[in-house]
Structure 1
Amino acid sequence: MSLLRVLLAAATVATSLLAGGAPALADKVMVTDVLGRKVEVEAPVQRVILGEGRQMYVVAALDKDDPFKRVVAWRDDLPKADPDSYKQYLARYPQVAKLPSFGGMKEGAFDIEQAIALKPDVLFLNIEAKVASDEASLVEKLAAVGIPVVYVDFREKPFQNTEPSLRLMGKLFGRETVAEDFIAFRAAEIARVTDRLAKVQGLKRPLVMMERAGGYSDDCCMSFGNENFGKMVDIAGGKNFASDLIPGTFGTVNPEAVVAANPDVVVITGGNWGAYVPGGAWVGLGPGSDLTEARRKLAGLARRPAFSQTKAVKDGRVHAIWHQFYNSPYQFVAIQEIATWLHPELFKDLDAEATLKTLHERFLPLPYQPGYWVTVERK
């Protein structure tokens, strides 16, 4: 530790003691990220760069009282991919508008010089950025100036990596207790579904067609394999149609295959994607969304050839759910809502909206607003 850092640390201790509080000193800690990399970081971190803006879903839970106090820069995806949440943050924390931002790693839009100039204690990257970061030798270049890179994951394999990612970020933030509280809450809410399903003899699992970002393009149909929303369907007591067709987390299925399978339930992920596809057929969902308009657009997607003659449409079992459940540690809320769609009698007393409200009250700095899911009107 340099003389300057020693003096600064001593000043921090003195100030803390005078205020009657416990001193909080940074120290080198060795952590293992979700790729198994051993990384040394000075923690608790005070200056972080978020390799994806939607990592705020985690940061906000860890630093509820002041979610942006450590963030010195972030990727520019939150205002585009989840503008409703961004507007909420902007209204409450106007300084967000001045936060330095950068483009995606895959697009080669990450500015290494800018990152170095901001002197972060750590850069958090999602694992899907690894190929691009390797090609740019990003980790090596930042390591040369003492900036560690840590990989987390809430999207590619969320049911394997969400808890380790939460623990990792909690440790680096010095918020281990909050992270463990969140993990326990998440596990308990998932168990409300799985424990009840486990007691059902001969459980009949409805066949579910899970469409990823329906209406985002004219093509049909992007879907999920046996992870992410595909795994959520299975946990909620359904059979994910595309699990046997898509070998990884994400992929596409042929519309004719959907028609032939004749799914019992259709669930489409939606978000307010006007920044990407203005005027698109996507179902606008998110905090404060117009659910009447979302329901109208969902009905339009249900009329496409892949779905129009399916049992799901004929029985009025077509739903849409907030896309960003796929990229946050909040998957347990989606599991609960999907469970009520798949087994309405078994879960008639389960209220996913109440769970989402509790999540906001206990862990998040923003007030709850409805708008996260919608169902077609039965005729």
Structure 2
Amino acid sequence: MALAMAVLGAQAAQAGVTLTDLDGRQVVLDHPPERIALGFYFEDYLAVAGPEGADRLVALSRAPWADWRPGQWKAYAARYPQLNSLPDIGHADDNTLSAEAIIATRPDVAILSTWQTSALGEPGLRQLDAAGVKVVALDYNAQTVERHVLSTQVLGAVLGQPERAQRLADLYRAKIDDTLARIAMAGPSHLKIYVELAQSGPREVGNSYGKGMWAGVIDLVGGQNIAAGQIGNWGPLSPEYVIAQQPDVILLAGSEWINRPASVPMGFGATDTVAQTRLQAYAARAGWADLPAVETRQVYGIYHGGIRTLSDFVYVRSVAKALYPDAFADVDPVQELQDFYADWLPVAPDGLFVTRLK
């Protein structure tokens, strides 16, 4: 509530703005930033900023976009060729993200995820402050409606687009409210769900999610996440445990990974022909043939790059549809994704984002 009041009570950006970011840090901006270093949440930034938002970028944390989501990166780089020449401020996962790299690009503001500000630590944040770089933290990773909405409102306040941001926040909340209303009418689901990061192929057990991200989606729609209480935020579950749990629904989270020939390809540029082959390989794992999810073909490929974004209501509704098919019979998540991109983003989502084992 305090965060919401800080954002909603902000003055018009042209006259300066005071806000509280998702780290709980108060940030004072004298004017809308003209030079922005962007660490993560690339599509959310562009959705709130509008098509001209790319012109304000002076640096990126490149790996989480170009390496994690190369198909998505290719689509945006074709629309904005200048992305290819932006300086790289480093990557939190390999400890190359640095205050020095950010400062060297002379931004007014660095928009980062909370896990990136955590990686910089207090010494790095003080260094940025001393150099006159304002830091604004966002958090779509928590996978809660509240932090999605607040992150969007904070972005709007920073970028001088509070009305556009509020429309996006209202859209997100409306889609989630509709989802929850349908679930309430349908009654509780007792179906068990197993989600696995399908990056390395069926011979290697990928991460599942106990908190946040996909776990947050499952919790929101009332599924029984078999990873809950077994791991922290993420980590692999033992094959024996998964089989013993007899999941009714399996989500294989795929993406556009490079040099991952056995992964489930999902996202920009992916095709169902290849995805089905990879889904079948997972379904053929030892002990999986008799799982309820495999017997009923409730095995789904779903776009990992689409989670922790403003468009992830599409994946929330996709999971809800698997659990409550009658309640969501008239919902077409793929069409809703197409509509979101047409209304808010400068590229089209050409590829495969949700599919089911045939």
Per-residue CA distance 1:78-121 (angstroms, 9 max, x = gap): 11111111111111221221111232134231353442232211
Query: Retained in 2: the 8 A contact 1:281–1:301?
Result: no
**Aligned-partner SS, 1:374:** strand
C-alpha displacement of 1:160: 4.1
Pairing of 1:198-209 with structure 2 (within 5 A): 198-201=184-187, 203-209=188-194
C-alpha displacement of 1:185: 0.7
Q: Work out whether 1:88 is the aligned partner of 2:75.
A: yes
Query: Retained in 2: the 8 A contact 1:33–1:168?
Result: yes
Pick from 235, 244, 252 the counterpart of residue 268 of structure 1: 252
Q: 1:64 to 1:216 in 2, by over 3 A?
A: farther
Q: Which of these two proteins has the greater Rg computed from alpha carbons?
A: 1
C-alpha displacement of 1:157: 4.6
Per-residue CA distance 1:266-306 (angstroms, 9 max, x = gap): 111000111xxx14321111123122101111111222236
Q: 1:279 to 1:324 in 2, by over 3 A?
A: closer
Pick from 303, 306, 316 the counterpart of residue 322 of structure 1: 303
C-alpha displacement of 1:216: 6.0
CA RMSD of aligned residues (A): 2.1
Q: 1:214 to 1:118 in 2, by over 3 A?
A: closer
> Please, what TM-score do these two structures have when normalized by structure 1?
0.85
> Please, what TM-score do these two structures have when normalized by structure 2?
0.90
Q: 1:218 to 1:184 in 2, by over 3 A?
A: same
* CA distance in 1: counterparts of 2:27 and 2:233, whole angstroms: 27
1:313 aligns to what?
Answer: 294
Q: 1:42 to 1:89 in 2, by over 3 A?
A: same
2:177 aligns to what?
Answer: 191
**Aligned-partner SS, 1:263:** coil
Pick from 226, 246, 254 the counterpart of residue 241 of structure 1: 226
Q: 1:181 to 1:306 in 2, by over 3 A?
A: farther
Consecutive unaligned residues in structure 2, runs of 5 or more: 1-11
1:360 aligns to what?
Answer: 341
**Aligned-partner SS, 1:256:** helix
**Aligned-partner SS, 1:273:** coil
Q: In the alignment, residue 69 of structure 1 is paired with which amino acid? A: D
Q: Work out whether 1:212 is the aligned partner of 2:197.
A: yes
Pairing of 1:61-76 with structure 2 (within 5 A): 61-76=47-62
Across the two proteins, how many residue pairs are aligned to each other? 346
Q: Work out whether 1:125 is the aligned partner of 2:106.
A: no
Pairing of 1:1-379 with structure 2 (within 5 A): 26-52=14-40, 55-76=41-62, 77-134=64-121, 137-201=123-187, 203-215=188-200, 218-246=203-231, 248-274=232-258, 278-305=259-286, 307-377=288-358
C-alpha displacement of 1:237: 4.1
**Aligned-partner SS, 1:327:** coil
Consecutive unaligned residues in structure 1, runs of 5 or more: 1-23
Q: 1:237 to 1:349 in 2, by over 3 A?
A: farther
Aligned sequence identity (%)? 27
**Aligned-partner SS, 2:52:** coil
Query: Retained in 2: the 8 A contact 1:287–1:371?
Result: yes
* CA distance in 2: counterparts of 1:260 and 1:361, whole angstroms: 44
